[in-house]
Structures are given as C-alpha cells and as structure tokens.
Amino acid sequence: MKRRHLLTSGPYLVWMVLFIVVPMAMVVWFAFTDNVTGAFTLENIVRIGDYSNVFVRSIWLGALATVVCLVLGYPLAYLIAKIDPKYQNAIVLLIMLPMWMNFLLRTYAWMSLLEDNGLINNFLALLGLPRVHMINTSGAVVMGMVYNYLPYMVLPLYSVLVKIDGSVIEAAQDLGANRVQVFRRVIFPMSMPGIMSGITMVFVPSVSTFIISKMLGGGGNLLIGDLIEMEFLGNSYNPNLGSAISLVLMVLILISMGIMNQFRDEQEEDGGGVLF
C-alpha cells in the first residue's frame, strides 16, 4: 500500500520540488548574495529601504482598490443573491464574462477611455464640461485594479450570501429586529468568510501587479511589481536585488494572508474549490 502511493505521487513530488521549491530556494539564494562576487551579503535587503516609497504606494493603492471593490461588490452580490434564482446563474456568468478576456486588452480599453483626448474627455467636452486629466494618475491605477479584480470580490461574496437560509432572517424579523439590525447582526456576520476570501483575492493580485500600473499610471506610479520586472528584464538588470524585493513581497503577502485566515471560520476545512 505504502509503495503504491509513492508510485503515483512520487513523480509529482519530484516535479514540484524541482520547479517550485528549487526556484524559491534560488530566489532566497540570490537575495542574499552579491551580484558580482557571489559572496553572502545583506546589502540587497538593505537596499530595499531605498524603495520604501514604492512599497508604501503599492500597499496603499492595493488596499484602496480592495476597499473600493468591497464597497461596490457587496451590494451587487447582495442584490444578485436576492433576485429570482432562475436568473442568478446568467447574471453571475455576465459578471465573469469580461474575465475571460485577457486583462491586457481590458486595461488597454481603459487607456483609450481615460486619455486626455479620450472618449470620456470628448464626452465631457461635448456637454460643455471641463476636461479632466485622468490617465497617468494613481486614481487611474486604482480604477484599473478595481475593474480587473471586481469579479474576484463579487463571486465569493455571492456564494456565501446565496447560501444564507431565509428562515434565519425571518426568525430575526419575528424576534423584532429591524432591517438594519438584521443586516448588522445576522447577514453581515454570516457573510464574513466571503468578505475575507474576497479581500485576499483582490488584495494579492493588486499589490503585486506590474502591468496595470505601467499602462494606466505612466512612469510616475511605479509599484513593487514594476520594480521586480525592471531588475529581471528591464534596464536596471540586477536579479539579486530583484530576488530580494520578490522575497519581501512574498513574505508581505503570506503575512497578510495569515492575518486574514485568523478571521476566517474553520468551516472551509475541505479545501475544495479554491478559486472557482
């Protein structure tokens, strides 16, 4: 018996060690060695201090995008969960449909909308309103994140809200709770697992993005992802520094996910359909 599962899962273990564990070990190795001599050094980690403003900006913009997604997504998920079940699947599909288009194309579409001579500004001018400078601002970056990751917030929220038993709400009402109380004391606490997974699913890709900031934020809104890309494929080639930044980003994300998991109930033990 023992040998048989080694036969089936052994090659998988070897594969994952080779292509996940070894590359991660290489990131750690590169992060702590000098890029010329290859000797052990802490300099790469120390140099990250120079880029602390980029880290602060990434976390700030990522958090902002997450909050906007939650504020926009919660009412939407709530509305979908309440409509006639016949139409729910179709509407969920419509929410997911844009995600099947490559995110580069979706972000590109926003470039043509937000430009100084873009469609939104032309429309404003048509109405006699002043033009607004939107492209290459941090607001445009947040908007790009919200546009790309909003479905990641709506779907987990919807899947917990739709499962809430209507009789629980009726019971609360029978016991004299008004609408605000029903929401605050019953619906909201019960949707907590959905809120937590929504927040993680939006925050992680937002913090580590590098294309959205490049396309919509111009050169002035550099994020951690852009920094890493520049060190590996850009003009400031230095994979050692890039590895150090990657390592810090990874630790940052793992810590924030650890914090999130503290809030999550243990009801999702089976670990089944992660990410739909």
Residues 71-130 contacting other proteins, CB under 8 A: 72, 75-76, 79-85, 91, 93-95, 97-98, 100-113, 115, 117-119, 122
Whether 78 and 169 have beta carbons less than 8 Å apart is answered as no
The whole-angstrom separation of Cα 91 and Cα 183 is: 23
> Does residue 51 belong to the site contacting other proteins (CB under 8 A)?
no
Backbone angles phi, psi at 118, to 5 degrees: -80, -175
Question: Which of 40-48, 54-62, 127-135, 158-166 is the region at the interface with other proteins (rule: CB under 8 A)?
Answer: 158-166
Interface residue with other proteins, options 159, 208, 213, 221 (CB under 8 A) = 208
Interface residue with other proteins, options 139, 193, 194, 239 (CB under 8 A) = 239
> Does residue 216 belong to the site contacting other proteins (CB under 8 A)?
no
Element (H, E) at 31: helix 22-31
Question: Which of 39-47, 59-67, 129-137, 157-165 is the region at the interface with other proteins (rule: CB under 8 A)?
Answer: 157-165
> Does residue 218 belong to the site contacting other proteins (CB under 8 A)?
no
Question: Which of 34-42, 55-63, 130-138, 251-259 is the region at the interface with other proteins (rule: CB under 8 A)?
Answer: 251-259
For residue 196, the Cα-to-chain-centroid distance in whole angstroms is 12
Whether 153 and 201 have beta carbons less than 8 Å apart is answered as yes
Interface residue with other proteins, options 211, 218, 238, 264 (CB under 8 A) = 211
What pairs with residue 67 in β-bridges?
A: none
Exposed, middle or buried: residue 28 (CB in 10 Å: 0-12, 13-18, 19+)?
A: middle
- Fill in the per-residue mask, 168 to 187: x = in contact with other proteins (CB under 8 A), - = not in contact: -xx-----------------
> Does residue 44 belong to the site contacting other proteins (CB under 8 A)?
no
Residue 216 has a CB neighbour count (10 Å cut-off) of: 26
Q: CB-wise, 50 or 270, nearer to other proteins? A: 270
Token code pair at residue 86: 């016949």
The whole-angstrom separation of Cα 49 and Cα 249 is: 13
> Does residue 21 belong to the site contacting other proteins (CB under 8 A)?
yes
